[in-house]
Structure 1
Amino acid sequence: MTLGKKLAAEFLGTFWLVLGGCGSAVLAANFGGDGNPLGIGLLGVSLAFGLTVLTGAYAFGHISGGHFNPAVSFGLWAGGRFPTRDLLPYIVAQVLGAIAAGFILFQIASGQAGFAIDPTSAGAFASNGYDALSPGGYSVAAAFLCEVVLTAFFLIVIMGSTHGRAPAGFAPIAIGLALTLIHLISIPVTNTSVNPARSTGVALFAGSGAMGQLWLFWLAPILGGLIGGILYKGICRNEPEVVGN
């Protein structure tokens, strides 16, 4: 595959992740108001994020590797699965895809009478945050630790499920379920990022509060991705690896 085709796949895959995952949070999580059985809630949003990665990986994984996340690209690079020359182009494509999805989601959400985003509200427009912008009021230290550890384990699952000795064809399922679990754990803490592109794509529309805290959702996931990639590479140093696209 040419680099252009890979970048197009990363753009579309990240677009799908943000539209599906964040869209479920903005449009469906609380549909009908508190207590309405039609609202999908925390569990539904968690499943939506997992399903976007699962379906996106099957659709685009054979083209670009299905990263859809700068932290994943950094982690695979640290783990020896991804070439340095493609790192920046992949990240640019991922961020642009996330922003495009955020824009489309904003246009859809704006079609509801009375729609407004409160930039001081936790989780506004599916944004990530800490302290007052954390859904559960968690501190910056707790949010940072949560994002680092969960992203590190996300990379371990990704690298393990795509290893040469792993069952063929099942990696997207393991990766999608891992992302679902990550959301079940951390939505109360940070509204779950583990993906700088996802955070950026909605923060641009969520207002000054989310934008002011966006630094953490770049630094912590990328650090976690690097840790996960290095750890898995160390564990499997003498095992055959799958070379990243």
Structure 2
Amino acid sequence: MTMMQKSLAEFFGTFWLVFGGCGSAVIAAAFPEVGIGLLGVSLAFGLTVVTMAYAIGHISGCHLNPAVTVGLWIGGRFPANEIPMYVTAQVLGAVLASASLYLIASGNADYSLAANGLASNGVGEHSPGGFSMGSGIAIEILLTFFFLMIILGATDSRAPAGFAPLAIGLGLTLIHLISIPVTNTSVNPARSTGPALIEGGIALSQLWIFWVAPIGGAILAGIVYKVVGGSEQK
């Protein structure tokens, strides 16, 4: 695959993740009669990864996440020279998805960007459950670490073939079930950047947290998996 093909795959894949995941929170979960709640939003994020893993995994590897790209590089699975293009495509996909979501949501007279937002991530006063910055940073590092451990393990050449998308998607679902009340769940700097750029304000001022913490957790996982998993890696 050419770099352009890989980048386009990452762009559309990340668009789908942000539009599907954040869209479930902004549009579906916003109406009590729909009733998808925390479980529905968590499942929506997981389903975006499962569906895209089967759709574009053979093209780009279906990273959809700068932290995943960096973690795979640290783990010896991805070339450093392709990181800038992947991350750029992921962020652009997330921003366009957020803008599209805002365009659609604003078609409802009761929707307000200031009041309803776009499912941005946050801590302190911007945390859904009022959790502190320390709690938010800790859970983002920890959950991104385990997300990358799942990815590195499920895609290892010794793992059962064909089941990686399910393991990764279910892993992301579980991660959301745990951490939506804390940070609204990032573990993905691109996913955080899209809504924050459209919302502005506190979401944008706290965006650095959702780059530093997930990438830190991913780097740690890349190092640890080399020790735990050994050298027979795909």
Structure 2-normalised TM-score? 0.98
1:16 is aligned to 2:9: no
Code of the aligned partner of 1:184: L
How far apart are the structure 1 equivalents of 2:222 and 2:173?
20
How far apart are the structure 1 equivalents of 2:196 and 2:123?
13
1:159 is aligned to 2:152: yes
Which ranges in structure 2 are unaligned for 5 or more consecutive residues? none
How far apart are the structure 2 equivalents of 1:92 and 1:207?
20
Q: Once the two structures are aligned, what percentage of the paired residues are identical? A: 61
Corresponding residue of 2:2: 2
How far apart are the structure 2 equivalents of 1:193 and 1:98?
12
Code of the aligned partner of 1:16: W
How far apart are the structure 1 equivalents of 2:229 and 2:176?
27
2:192 to 199, 223, 232: 199
Corresponding residue of 1:42: 38
The structure with the greater share of residues assigned to helix is 2
Q: Secondary structure at the match of 2:118?
A: helix
Which ranges in structure 1 are unaligned for 5 or more consecutive residues? none
Structure 1-normalised TM-score? 0.93
Report the number of matched residues. Answer: 234
Corresponding residue of 2:182: 189
Corresponding residue of 1:144: 137
Corresponding residue of 1:222: 215
1:131 is aligned to 2:127: no
Corresponding residue of 1:79: 75
Q: Secondary structure at the match of 1:214?
A: coil
Q: CA deviation at 1:113?
A: 1.0
1:67 is aligned to 2:67: no
Corresponding residue of 2:50: 54
Q: After TM superposition, which residue ranges in structure 1, 4 or more long, deviate above 4 angstroms?
A: none
What CA deviation, in whole Å up to 9, does each residue of 1:162-217 have, x standing for no partner?
A: 01111111100000000000000000000000000000011112221100100000
How far apart are the structure 2 equivalents of 1:181 and 1:73?
21
